[in-house]
């Protein structure tokens, strides 16, 4: 039965956990939460600009929906792609229309690192670059902002992003290309005197 599946949790695949959760196994759902909850929170903060106060609620709502939807998981995508798709839908309904600034560290992964011990001038210049990048990401239309976050910041493969968002991989690559061009143009435009 399901008890046997969850007794050896570290060796159980995400897919098996989803199936067990769909059959009412709360231990399996808890394990999915432990494996993916932090990453879901990170994506929601970056993509939707969700405050720490709201992020916990949205992550919980996501995993409630994971449990509800687990019998409909069709294995066409990875469990992570499926969960992130659910999280984006949950947050879209919850925080529709809100755009907030990302935390400074969100863009740190995108920015080239300066010398190991930058001068105060270098730190200020880097901080301004990060702020400009954050503003440029915030200004992107939501579909582009989502793709930049999942592909460039989270490092998801194009096929997984496509499955998570329910669109073709070609559409993902077009959005990513357009988003990168817009970011580059905006940042270049701001550097001109």
Q: pLDDT means per 10 residues in the chain (193 residues)? A: 53 90 86 92 81 80 88 86 90 55 39 53 72 81 87 82 89 90 83 67
pLDDT at res. 134: 76
User: HSE of 177 in the Cβ direction (CA atoms, 13 Å)?
Assistant: 6
pLDDT at res. 99: 37
pLDDT at res. 117: 58
What's the CA gap between 11 and 23, in Å, rounded? 19
What's the CA gap between 65 and 63, in Å, rounded? 5
SS3 of residue 56 by DSSP: helix
8 Å CB contact between 83 and 89: no
DSSP state at residue 100: -
8 Å CB contact between 144 and 178: yes
pTM for the structure as a whole: 0.57
pLDDT at res. 24: 82
pLDDT at res. 3: 47
What's the CA gap between 138 and 146, in Å, rounded? 10
pLDDT at res. 79: 92
Using CB atoms within 10 Å of the CB of residue 30, give its burial: 0 to 12 exposed, 13 to 18 middle, 19+ buried: middle
Taking alpha carbons only, the member of 85, 109, 101 closest to residue 49 is 101
pLDDT at res. 163: 87
């Amino acid at each position: 039965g399901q008890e046997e599946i969850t007794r050896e949790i570290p060796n159980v695949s995400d897919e098996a956990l989803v199936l067990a959760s769909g059959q009412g196994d709360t231990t399996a759902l808890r394990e999915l939460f432990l494996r993916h909850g932090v990453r879901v929170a990170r994506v929601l903060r970056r993509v939707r600009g969700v405050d720490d106060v709201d992020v916990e609620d949205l992550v919980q709502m996501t995993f409630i929906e994971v449990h509800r939807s687990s019998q409909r998981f069709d294995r066409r995508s990875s469990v992570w792609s499926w969960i992130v798709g659910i999280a984006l839908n949950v947050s879209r309904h919850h925080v529709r229309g809100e755009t907030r600034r990302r935390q400074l560290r969100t863009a740190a992964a995108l920015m080239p690192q300066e010398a190991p011990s930058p001068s105060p001038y270098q730190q200020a210049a880097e901080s301004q670059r990060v702020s400009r990048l954050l503003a440029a990401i915030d200004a992107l239309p939501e579909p582009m902002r989502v793709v930049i976050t999942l592909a460039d910041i989270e490092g998801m493969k194009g096929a997984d992003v496509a499955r998570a968002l329910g669109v073709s991989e070609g559409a993902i690559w077009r959005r990513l290309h357009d988003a990168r061009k817009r970011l580059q143009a905006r940042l270049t435009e701001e550097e001109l005197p």
